[in-house]
Amino acid sequence: MAEEEREPAPALVVCDACPVRCRIKPGQAGACDRYANVSGVLTRVDPLIVAERTAARDGAMVPFLGDQDWEEGRLLRPAERFVTGVGAGTTYPDYKPAPFIVASTHDGIDMVTVVTEGIFSYCGVKLKIDTDRHLGPETAPLRAEGEPVGHVTTAEYGSQMLSIGGVHHLTGGSKKEGNVTCETMLRLCNREPVELAIDGGSRLVVEAGKPPVIDGEAEVRMRVGCGSATIGMFAPAWAGRVDEVVVVDDHITGVLSEHEAGRFLGIQPTGIYMRGRRSTPGRYFRVAEPGSGWGGTDVTDPLAILGPFNTKQARPGLTMLMVSTTGEDAAYFVLDEALRPVPAAMPSDLAATVALIRENCEPALCSVIFMAGAGGSLRAGVTRNPVRLTRSVKDALTRVTSGGAPVWVWPGGGITFMVDVSRMPERSFGYVPTPALVAPIEFTLRLDDYAALGGHTDSVLRAEDLASEERKRTIGWGSDNPWPLAPEHFPWSRQG
């Protein structure tokens, strides 16, 4: 075949969506699976997610019950739409305007939402694991596939906190450590199960919104409170039914007869002796070591935390209930002639009080919170003067959301935010192999405020212009999330 008759070689496309700059062959995707070469054009392959709600304010479903003009023959108020950052694309290189800057009118006010996907090298995941079990020593390394991806942090009220990710794990260690860390966070944020191991502690399977599986056993309940709090809540149920109650807890074990609640109800001293360190009356620290036994201790026999009863106060026949903070472990004892606790069948009315503890325990769940900093580069896609955006967020002139979900912005410098991944659309997160996570972020404010802070007003499009967007996919609005465009979220709506 003559040279001039040969078909031209398929054109490679160099992706500029992140610093990796993949060279993508026709019909193939880049390393992140987010951008592809479609007929020689770099194309974002995932759908752009638009959230839609149809219910009117205050429950008014028909226009003539609201405050807008009604068009004859139209029964329902037209749907309200919010363009999320899921599937929007990024602003790399950083000076480019955000992929979508969408203007619309709400309650007669011109608003704008700046929509993008941020590439977050400085990000992490915070895990709240509802359990009484001891998972591992504080600061112990947390591993996935054998690689360190985080650490155990503080134990809170009925939960253990884990921290995963951060720039040092993503980029400060080996290449494998960074890749495994990124993959672990990606799966957690997309609400997929992940297996983790704690040095010197437990193996876990965690998934957002699901019970944690600890050393092969699914956790069922989150404790109703510490041992002391449990005494305080249920003391009236025990008064007159049993002489003594001990609520076993790794942190604060409660003793009914010494506790203020017991004294208030007139419960007499029993001569009980508790091992551990006495804090205030009826409250004991360190009665045992942490573990997976009763109340998060290493105790399997609750009598191990007791010493001999005081012979001047105790008496044969004295009754005692010992119970854990979740009510999952309970035993009933009666003192014999030698003032030793002897196991006995638990009376039905006392068993009902143990069931009451279990009833007041909430289901044990894993909570996954994504935390990231919207750096200067991301903010440059919103405004030519990034610090003005930061100030407008701190002044509540700009509302920040992630996939339409509300975020909590930390005080201090920058825009460091946290979001509950369970309130975001499914599979909101992606990645780039730098490695870093890709997450949606939206900034909503008045259009005139956007112009004042140096926004990319030349790139503003109207919401109705998105009708021709081929990648658009509409989903229903999550009822638990506040509507980001509602004027009551902004201080100017409350001015007289």
Question: pLDDT per residue over 73-114, tens digit each?
Answer: 333 344 688 999 999 988 877 778 999 999 988 888 899 999
Please report which confidence band the pLDDT of residue 7 belongs to, taking 50, 70 and 90 as the band edges. low
Q: Does the residue 68 lie in any domain?
A: no
* DSSP string over 381-445: TTBSSHHHHHHHHHTTSSEEEETTEE-EEPSSSSEEEEEEGGGSPTT--EEETTTEEEEEEEEEE
Collapsed DSSP state (helix, strand, coil) of residue 170: helix
Residues 485 and 428 in one domain: yes
Q: End of a domain among 220, 249, 268?
A: 220
Residues 310 and 432 in one domain: no
Range from 48-62, 94-108, 432-446 carrying the lowest mean pLDDT: 48-62
Q: What is the pLDDT of residue 55?
A: 54
Nearest 5°: CA angle at 354, between 352 and 357? 115
Q: End of a domain among 220, 237, 272?
A: 220
Range from 9-23, 57-71, 82-96 carrying the lowest mean pLDDT: 57-71
Please report which confidence band the pLDDT of residue 447 belongs to, taking 50, 70 and 90 as the band edges. very high
Residues 248 and 281 in one domain: yes
Residues 6+ apart with CB under 8 A from 465: none
Question: pLDDT per residue over 244-286, tens digit each?
Answer: 999 999 999 999 999 999 999 999 999 999 999 999 999 999 9
Residues 202 and 255 in one domain: no
Collapsed DSSP state (helix, strand, coil) of residue 473: strand
Question: pLDDT per residue over 174-216, tens digit each?
Answer: 999 999 999 999 999 999 999 999 999 999 999 999 999 999 9
Residues 432 and 335 in one domain: no
Dist CA 318 CA 493 (whole Å): 65
Q: What is the pLDDT of residue 65?
A: 37
Contact by Cβ (8 Å): 288, 304: yes
pTM for the complete prediction? Answer: 0.88
Question: pLDDT per residue over 302-330, tens digit each?
Answer: 999 999 999 999 999 999 999 999 999 99
- The count of domains in the chain is 4
pLDDT tops 50 at residue 62: no
Residues 234 and 348 in one domain: yes
For all residues of the chain together, what is the average pLDDT? 89
pLDDT tops 90 at residue 3: no
Residues 385 and 469 in one domain: yes
Q: End of a domain among 177, 192, 220?
A: 220
pLDDT tops 60 at residue 60: no
Q: Does the residue 130 lie in any domain?
A: yes
Question: Pairing between strand 253-255 and 159-165?
Answer: unpaired
Q: Does the residue 70 lie in any domain?
A: no
The average pLDDT across 162-182 equals: 95
Length of the chain: 496
In the chain, % of residues over pLDDT 90 = 71
Question: pLDDT per residue over 450-489, tens digit each?
Answer: 999 999 999 999 888 887 788 899 999 988 899 998 877 7
Q: Does the residue 52 lie in any domain?
A: no
Residues 278 and 311 in one domain: yes
Q: What is the pLDDT of residue 492?
A: 67
Q: What is the pLDDT of residue 108?
A: 83
For 85, the domain range is 80-122+375-494
Question: pLDDT per residue over 417-438, tens digit each?
Answer: 999 999 999 999 999 988 999 9
Residues 315 and 209 in one domain: no
pLDDT tops 50 at residue 384: yes
Q: What is the pLDDT of residue 470?
A: 82
Q: What is the pLDDT of residue 377?
A: 74
Question: pLDDT per residue over 209-254, tens digit each?
Answer: 999 999 999 999 999 999 999 999 999 999 999 999 999 999 999 9
Q: Which of 191, 192, 184, 190 is nearest to 162 (CA)?
A: 184
DSSP 375: -
pLDDT tops 70 at residue 9: no
Most confident listed range (150-159, 335-344, 465-474): 335-344
Q: Does the residue 25 lie in any domain?
A: yes
Residues 111 and 129 in one domain: no
Q: Does the residue 4 lie in any domain?
A: no
Residues 441 and 388 in one domain: yes
Q: Does the residue 236 lie in any domain?
A: yes
Q: What is the pLDDT of residue 8?
A: 57
Q: Does the residue 66 lie in any domain?
A: no
Residues 232 and 357 in one domain: yes
